[in-house]
């Protein structure tokens, strides 16, 4: 398999749930991870880039559920306080 013109490395920072990523690509890559690990967001990056190259980035961001908030990474969501009620029988 020829490597001419093949994408060899992807560096992402601040895209959706991906805080920072530096991935060296092989001719074949398989994404494995638990739910919420960012696999779909990684694939979504290519859709994002396609829209950017097609000059449709504004439409893409607007089509996301929460617009730019859905597209950009603002850090992990942390539950500051969790309460539960105790039931006495």
Instruction: Write the pLDDT tens digit of every residue in 43-80.
Output: 988 888 888 888 887 777 777 656 666 666 656 666 66
Mean pLDDT value of segment 74-89: 65
The residue ranking higher by pLDDT, 86 or 25, is 25
CA distances from 10 to 36, 38, 54 (A): 20, 14, 20
DSSP for residue 28: S
- Residue 15's CB is within 10 A of a number of other CB atoms, namely 18
């Amino acid at each position: 398999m020829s490597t001419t013109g093949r994408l060899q490395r992807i560096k992402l920072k601040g895209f959706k749930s991906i805080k920072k990523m530096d991935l060296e690509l092989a001719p074949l890559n398989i994404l494995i991870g638990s739910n919420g690990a960012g696999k779909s967001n990684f694939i979504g990056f290519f859709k994002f880039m396609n829209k950017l190259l097609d000059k449709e980035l504004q439409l893409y961001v607007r089509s996301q559920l929460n617009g730019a908030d859905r597209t950009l990474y603002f850090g992990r969501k942390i539950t500051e306080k969790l309460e539960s009620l105790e039931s006495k029988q």
